[in-house]
Amino acid sequence: MVTPLMMSFTEEESPESLSLRVGSGLHKASTSFWCRSIPCQVGLRVRKLTVAHSNNSPESVYMVGIQIKNGVGKYSDTRLVLISPRFIVDNRSSKTIKISQRCYANSFFDAKAEATHLSLPPSCNLPFHWPRLDKDQLLCVQLSSAWSGGFPLDNVDSFHINIR
């Protein structure tokens, strides 16, 4: 949602902290868990939002970034809490590309692997969440039929990927 949610703490003496979870509408027959407490102090944080599935499939984990900052002017007593996907992939090329976690980037047809691939048309950006946190967190890109090697997303930088 992009609609602001207004809230306040009921007790002045209680520690000001928040906790998040994935809503029940995203994974209907699953259980979502509350994340670790987030202190409402100015700064940046990352949290994992976990959803356990009832069909014995691996749990889904969503990495979110949380920025807390003070309001300005007459809102200086207000704290703004911004929650966004931890990773956003931006396709600035003129070609449609596919992205995948390295463990799912294979050249043969695998329906489970295909379900995790994201297709990005030119000039498109999409949030990206690792399908499996227990596997290597390396992203691969496919332009035609071959996948690139895996590369980490943790380093904040800009770089080029050579694809045959």
pLDDT tens string 4-54: 777 777 777 777 888 888 888 888 888 889 999 898 889 999 998 888 888
Q: Is the pLDDT of residue 1 over 70?
A: no
Could you tell me how many residues make up the chain?
164
Instruction: Give me the pLDDT at residue 73, please.
Output: 92
128-148 per-position pLDDT tens digit: 888 888 888 899 998 877 888
Q: Where are the alpha helices (DSSP H) in the chain?
A: 111-114
CA gyration radius, the chain: 19
The CA distance from 56 to 147, in Å, is 29
Average pLDDT, integer, range 66-86: 89
Can you give the residue ranges of every domain in the chain? 17-85, 87-142
The CA distance from 84 to 93, in Å, is 24
pTM above 0.75, yes or no: no
- Please report, for residues 11, 31, 45, 60, 163, the alpha-carbon distance to residue 90 in angstroms, rounded to integers and kept in the order given: 42, 31, 22, 23, 17
The CA distance from 159 to 148, in Å, is 14
Q: Is the pLDDT of residue 164 over 70?
A: no
